[in-house]
Amino acid sequence: MRKCVVRIARADFDGLMRHLFPGDGDEHGAVLLAGYVSNGEHSALCVREIHPAREGIDYVKGNVGYRALAPTFIHRMITRARDERL
């Protein structure tokens, strides 16, 4: 099985961690849009964009689980990824 690493800029990682773990003990969500690179032996997902899910708008009460990404947010992210070829 080939391994794949995730590469993310330090500033982006720090911002993502602040969003996901603000200290309130609650769940939070985000979408990472990444490009894929491979040299045949090594593969990497290179994070290009981070899209934090806004509480109550993009990240809402779930029908099955506690919380979920809103379908409209997911659609926007899929469209963005397609447009940017990510």
Render pLDDT for 11-54 as a digit per residue (tens, 0 to 9): 999 999 999 999 999 999 999 999 999 988 899 999 999 999 99
Report the pLDDT value the prediction gives residue 65, as an integer from 0 to 100: 80
Rounded to 5°, the CA angle 13-37-71 comes to 60
Q: What is this structure's pTM?
A: 0.88
Mean pLDDT on 48-70: 93
pLDDT given at position 82: 98
Distance between CA atoms of residues 52 and 32, nearest Å: 9
- With 70 as the cut, is the pLDDT of residue 1 above it? no
> Token match 């099955």: residue?
64
Q: What's the mean pLDDT in 59-86?
A: 94
